[in-house]
Amino acid sequence: MGIKRALVSVSDKTGIVEFCRELSKLGVEIVSTGGTKSLLSKEGVPVIGISEVTGFPEILDGRVKTLHPAVHSGLLAVRDSAEHQAQMKELGLDYIDLVVVNLYPFQETIAKPDVTYEDAIENIDIGGPTMLRSAAKNHAFVSVVVDAADYASVLEEVRTGGDTTLETRKRLAAKVFRHTAAYDALISDYLSNVTGDPLPERYTVTYEKIQDLRYGENPHQKAAFYRKPLAAADTLTTAEQLHGKELSYNNINDANAALQIVKEFEEPAVVAVKHMNPCGVGVGESIYEAYRKAYEADPVSIFGGIVAANRIIDEATALLLKEIFLEIILAPGFTAEALEVLTQKKNIRLLKLGNLAAGGSRSSQFVVTSIDGGMVVQESDVHSLKESDLQVVTDRKPTEEELKQLLFGWKVVKHVKSNAIVLAKDDMTVGVGAGQMNRVGSAKIAIDQAGDKAKGSVLASDAFFPMGDTLELAAKAGITAVIQPGGSVRDEESIKVANEHGIAMVFTGVRHFKH
């Protein structure tokens, strides 16, 4: 059979002139529409207008041009069916052997900050996906190209064999259906948000592959890194890697955890993470001071960890960072001097992203977690606590300094795996207890880690105390103030213990479980 006729209609015209010129040289008749036809004609590529095929003009501002039996019969006819052949001959219809289509730029349109609803809707392609789907369905006979990256390989097959192989057509068809599915998912997501229905009866998401990963959590697991379309500039998926080897699956998860915590702070802050839990968080007048505090919070666990900063890394800070082994340093930027220092370490990854100095973007998004046989979807936890939200429930009110440390600890504890306890003092974490099956166990870990620093520190708990035992433990360690959600049926027991030991305690009314 071979490729004798191609229908070409593209919004993104990258490489299309050269591709069609070469097809024409190989004897392929080019049929085209609108702007694509004008471009090909201007560049001297022989081309036939779609109206010459359909016998019908392009109408309604180009909305209707390829939605015609003369087009879709040429795409959908089963070439080895005698009945289809007879109908095509009787109606004077010709086959279309190759379709080259890419779609109206819906994603680029809605990415514009001032986009109107009308503009978004106008950039929903109808004819393009219809042609793509027709051609892809009939891939036993029809080749279909939706990606300019495939022009060269398709051209080479046509040049050497007159047609593409069935294996190639299957691969291209699969790519088409992925493309149209992603296109429709993006439209669906946009309209669902416009209509205030972000959790509809069917939840469809689409992501673009950034890179294949060497493996997943463990070497026997396959993995890849994907980006959500229109991802914000201060997300890990948009980071620019300045130095070091490729990120691993575990690197990505840990770096994202560090990023979420550092976004909580507007003042200079540094976060060190191991296994998706913070092992040290510090804030200061400068990023240098903040890093010293984050390091001193747990100088053992930070080794081999991920560090995120919300200010540009300068030379002085870089010299400190260089002293230990770190997997990743993530920041809004690095001075030339800092880069010179840090790039001396071959394997360290340096990531630059977004403007984190103002706390980053904290708009609510939806978190998708896969489970066996399905998934669960929830809003991301971007709740921000204000001092006015606090309810003092003890006889003693927290001092101004205690209140400052309580709010600091609360920002951190929401990002620690539950059950979570964080001890804070002097604008840094001094103890972190994470992921234990009971709250006392987490408190013991945090207090043991803090050692002598526990005395005079404050305690943040991600959920309420089911009984007074955690407060008893805190009192013995010399902890002076506590922040927790409250809401237990035994709150009075905890309040009584706090009062007996002169501990100031505040309720937030908000829980921060993290599984």
Lowest model confidence (mean pLDDT) among 159-168, 192-201, 317-326: 192-201
Give pLDDT tens digits for 410-460: 999 999 999 999 999 999 999 999 999 999 999 999 999 999 999 999 999
Is the model's pLDDT at 462 over the cut of 90? yes
> Residue 2 has what pLDDT?
87
372: number of Cβ within 10 Å = 5
> Residue 499 has what pLDDT?
95
145: number of Cβ within 10 Å = 26
Contacts 24+ apart (CB under 8 A), 54-60: 58/33, 58/34
Is the model's pLDDT at 325 over the cut of 90? yes
Which entry of 13, 68, 137, 397 is annotated as an active-site residue? 137
Is the model's pLDDT at 67 over the cut of 90? no
> Residue 117 has what pLDDT?
95
Which entry of 4, 228, 275, 501 is annotated as an active-site residue? 275
| 140: helix, strand or coil | coil
More confident residue, 357 or 87: 87
- 137 counts as catalytic: yes
> Rounded to 10 degrees, what is the CA torsion of 358, 363, 364, 366?
-100
- 68 counts as catalytic: no
Give pLDDT tens digits for 233-260: 888 999 999 999 999 999 999 999 999 9
Distance CA 100, CA 145 (A): 5
Give pLDDT tens digits for 89-128: 989 889 999 999 999 899 999 999 899 999 999 999 999 9
Q: Model pTM? A: 0.86
pLDDT band for position 34 (50/70/90)?
Answer: confident
What are residue 181's phi and psi, to 5 degrees? -65, -45
DSSP 3-state percent helix, strand, coil across the chain (nearest 5): 40, 20, 40
How long, in residues, is the chain?
515
DSSP string, 4-60: -EEEEEESS-TTHHHHHHHHHHTTPEEEE-HHHHHHHHHTT---EEHHHHHSS--BT
Is the model's pLDDT at 360 over the cut of 80? no
In whole angstroms, how large is the CA radius of gyration of the chain? 30
Q: Are the beta carbons of 101 and 80 closer than 8 angstroms? A: no
> Residue 363 has what pLDDT?
65
Distance CA 187, CA 110 (A): 10
Is the model's pLDDT at 280 over the cut of 90? yes
